[in-house]
Amino acid sequence: MEKSIDPLTGETFMRTRSNQVFASRLNQIKFNNFKAQKKRKSKEKINKILDKNYNVLASIVNGKKSTVKSYDFLLGAGFNFSCVTHHVKHEQKKWNCVYDYAYLVIGDKQFKIIQLEN
């Protein structure tokens, strides 16, 4: 048997298995829950913005093939232009995407919005 230090509590314990890291299963669960909570917390701000952007685009498209809206309309609806999930090349142009919705500047502060096909 070998001594080891529990990463959660810092207590010294005797390992019963060669791959044992925690003194108890409860300590392992607590440690992993803290780690997951920290990860969720660090992504919370961006995820809220992306969720809002998604909801704005979904409500605008609302089943249509495409629609055109102004910058001011999108801004007034709460859309944040600094946060996207990815970019796609569509119709020979680079579109900004929020999950399965995409938008492209088509004129003087006008945006074409589409829902991408899966």
* pLDDT tens-place string over residues 50-77: 999 999 999 999 989 899 999 999 999 9
d(CA 48, CA 98): 12
- pTM, to two decimals: 0.78
Q: CA 6 → CA 14, 41, 116, distances in Å? A: 10, 24, 48
Average pLDDT, the chain: 95
Average pLDDT, integer, range 27-52: 97
Q: How confident is the model at residue 38 (pLDDT cuts 50, 70, 90)?
A: very high
In this predicted structure, what is the pLDDT of residue 1? 77
The count of structural domains within the chain is: 1
In this predicted structure, what is the pLDDT of residue 107? 85
Domain residues for the domain of 66 are: 2-115
Q: CA 79 → CA 13, 42, 106, distances in Å? A: 53, 21, 17
